[in-house]
């Protein structure tokens, strides 16, 4: 490890950290959580100070992009202050966030002012009943109003995320594309991943990215784009709409693993080296054991990276990982 670069055991440069700031959420999306969830007790989750310290350590080693996620990051008390402090870290290129949009009516502007550059907002349906059925507790109008508030707040870019499920929202793919195009926003369609037992079979609803693409191509011409974020998304542009990108996330394919540039940190401070593997180290224990000294924490991170798996493997028919997406930080 040099002063400014983190390389894993395969020489991949790690420069993107996804940090979960809470496992809690005001929604209970069917693909993410069970209806009746038990959340972590407070002492098990990183304090805001610990979150900031770990963010600072990663940035000091060359991480240029941090995404705050959860659970729902906006429900974490003190989130705006945390954003302000992380955004100000010297060397950080951009702080971004993934949110369900439920509180953006009041929070979009404070988040933008705090230095959050871009938002990914989850939107699975434009039909209020279907939206409620998928999120179990969500109200569509609040999210749509939140999206308008985010558009007015001056973020550099807004992107929608849609998990596509047959029998629930797959028929809405063209309408969601129209919604994004009309607003000059990007939209990414995500294949459901088998994270945690959510009390239903996932294989029936599974909708592959190729099928989603086919639905869009019935209405629009798509031009493949070579743009990449170093992650699982492939992008296309829509003929006549240069301002929007359509993304397809196919976590079941692992052809992007060779260029993987990211690691994740759970809200308990577990550093996950790959979304599809359990390999992790307990950074919470380290920051609590060494409150004054960063060196042992940095050494542990560097050693852990040597074990970042080469690639992941998922099987939609099986729950392979016992953790839920909200605890992982999607
Ligand atoms: N609460 C925020 C939200 O919903 O945007 C941030 C956290 S959420 C876990 C991050 C992303 O993961 C969301 O876009 C969500 O749709 C996606 N997600 C959650 N569970 C998933 C699963 N099992 N498969 C694929 N995507 C999933
Ligand atoms: Fe909450 Fe996001 Fe999970 Fe939905 S996907 S339950 S909004 S954390």
Residue-by-residue DSSP string for 235-284: EEEETTEEEEEEEEE-TT--TTGGG--EEEE-TT-EEES-TTS--EEEHH
Q: Is 72 in the pocket of ligand 1 (CB under 6 A)?
A: yes
Q: Which of 21, 23, 24, 29 to mutate to test the pocket of ligand 2 (most atoms within 8 A of CB)?
A: 29
pLDDT in tens, 197-256: 776 666 778 999 999 999 999 999 999 998 877 777 899 999 999 999 999 998 776 667
Q: Residue 310 domain-assigned?
A: yes
CA 318 to CA 156: how far, in whole Å?
Answer: 39
Per-residue confidence band for 176, with pLDDT thresholds at 50, 70 and 90: very high
Handedness of CA 158, 163, 167, 173 (dihedral sign): positive
Residue listed under structure tokens 């950080």: 92
Q: Residue 1 domain-assigned?
A: no
Per-residue confidence band for 264, with pLDDT thresholds at 50, 70 and 90: very high
Whether this prediction's pTM lies above 0.85 is answered by yes
Asked whether the predicted pLDDT for residue 7 surpasses 70, the reply is: yes
* Pocket lined around ligand 2, Cβ cut-off 6 Å: 25, 27-29, 32-33, 70-72, 100, 122, 325-326
Q: Residue 303 domain-assigned?
A: yes
Per-residue confidence band for 325, with pLDDT thresholds at 50, 70 and 90: low
In degrees rounded to 5, what are phi and psi of residue 174? Answer: -60, -40
SS3 39: coil
Q: Is 15 in the pocket of ligand 1 (CB under 6 A)?
A: no
Per-residue confidence band for 316, with pLDDT thresholds at 50, 70 and 90: very low
The domain that holds 167 is classified in CATH as 3.20.20.70
Distance 13 CA to ligand 2 centre (A): 29
Strand 65-69 versus strand 16-20 pairing type: parallel
> Ramachandran region of residue 42, left (φ > 0), alpha (ψ -120 to 50) or beta?
alpha
Distance 85 CA to ligand 2 centre (A): 25
Enclosing domain of residue 241: 6-328
* Count of structural domains within the chain: 1
Q: Residue 201 domain-assigned?
A: yes
What is the reported pLDDT for 257?
80
Q: Which of 198, 326, 328 to mutate to test the pocket of ligand 2 (most atoms within 8 A of CB)?
A: 326
CA 78 to CA 4: how far, in whole Å?
Answer: 29
Q: Residue 227 domain-assigned?
A: yes
72 CA: nearest ligand 1 atom = 1
Tokens encoding 169: 């929202």
């Amino acid at each position: 490890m040099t002063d400014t670069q983190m390389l894993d055991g395969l020489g991949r440069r790690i420069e993107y950290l996804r940090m979960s700031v809470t496992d809690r959420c005001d929604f209970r999306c069917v693909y993410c959580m069970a209806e009746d969830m038990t959340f972590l007790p407070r002492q098990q989750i990183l304090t805001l100070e610990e979150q900031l310290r770990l963010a600072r350590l990663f940035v000091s080693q060359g991480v240029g992009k941090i995404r705050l996620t959860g659970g729902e990051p906006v429900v974490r008390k003190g989130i705006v202050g945390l954003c302000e402090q992380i955004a100000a870290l010297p060397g950080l290129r951009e702080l971004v966030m993934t949110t369900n949009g439920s509180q953006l009516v009041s929070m979009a502007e404070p988040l933008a002012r705090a230095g959050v550059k871009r938002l990914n907002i989850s939107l699975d349906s434009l039909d209020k009943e279907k939206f409620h059925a998928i999120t179990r507790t969500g109200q569509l109008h609040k999210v749509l109003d939140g999206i308008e508030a985010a558009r007015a707040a001056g973020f550099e870019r807004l992107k929608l995320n849609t998990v596509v499920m047959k029998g629930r929202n797959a028929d809405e793919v063209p309408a969601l594309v129209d919604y994004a195009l009309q607003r000059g926003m990007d939209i990414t369609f995500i294949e459901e991943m088998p994270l945690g037992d959510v009390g239903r079979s996932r294989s029936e609803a599974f909708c592959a990215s190729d099928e989603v693409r086919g639905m869009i191509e019935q209405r629009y011409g798509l031009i493949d784009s070579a743009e990449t974020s170093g992650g699982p998304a492939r992008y296309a542009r829509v003929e006549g709409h240069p301002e929007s990108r359509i993304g397809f996330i196919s976590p079941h394919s692992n052809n992007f693993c060779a260029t993987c540039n990211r690691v994740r940190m759970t809200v308990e401070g577990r550093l996950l080296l790959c979304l599809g593997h359990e390999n992790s180290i307990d950074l919470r224990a380290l920051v609590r054991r060494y409150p004054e000294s960063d060196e042992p924490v940095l050494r542990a991170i560097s050693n852990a990276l040597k074990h970042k798996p080469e690639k992941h493997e998922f099987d939609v028919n099986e729950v392979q990982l016992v953790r839920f997406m909200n605890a992982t930080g999607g």
